[in-house]
Amino acid sequence: MDNCLFCKIIKGDIPSTKVYEDEFCFAFRDINPQAPTHILVVPREHVASIAEAGEKLSPEALHALISAIGKIAAQEGLNNGFRVVSNCGPDACQSVLHLHFHILGGRQMADQMA
């Protein structure tokens, strides 16, 4: 989609540090990491958020996204655990309107999620 930051990153029009890609997904390091490991996993197809992912993405793409998270965590050596976050809409402070899963790890996470 024109004017979508993450679509531009997927296309390579904006540089990123890629950590994983497959037919359905692309993953790269967050520019402002909140943990020693902070990776964003996004579908190649533009959907705004997880609220519409179930309707708009194919079962194959949805499966690939979930699988990618596990593969990336293993690749990054997050053997002691990690947190996955997907902010959706204004109440959750979603700032980029292209579905993304944050993978956060490499340190003990806060006990409270929000």
Residue of the chain from 3, 13, 32, 114 that contacts ligand 5GP (CB under 6 A): 32
Contact 1, 7 (CB under 8 A): yes
Tokens describing residue 22: 């497959």
Q: How many residues bind Zn ion (CB under 5 A)?
A: 6
Only one of the segments 60-68, 74-82, 90-98, 103-111 lies at the binding site for ligand 5GP (rule: CB under 6 A); that segment is: 90-98
Nearer to ligand 5GP, 31 or 74 (CB): 31
Tokens describing residue 74: 């293993």
**CA neighbours within 13 Å on the CB side: how many for 42?**
29
The residues with which 82 forms a beta bridge, in sequence order, are 105
How many residues make up the chain in this entry? 114
Only one of the segments 56-64, 71-79, 93-101, 105-113 lies at the binding site for ligand 5GP (rule: CB under 6 A); that segment is: 93-101
Catalytic residue numbers? 100
Residues that bind ligand 5GP (CB under 6 A): 5, 14, 16, 28-32, 40, 87, 93-96
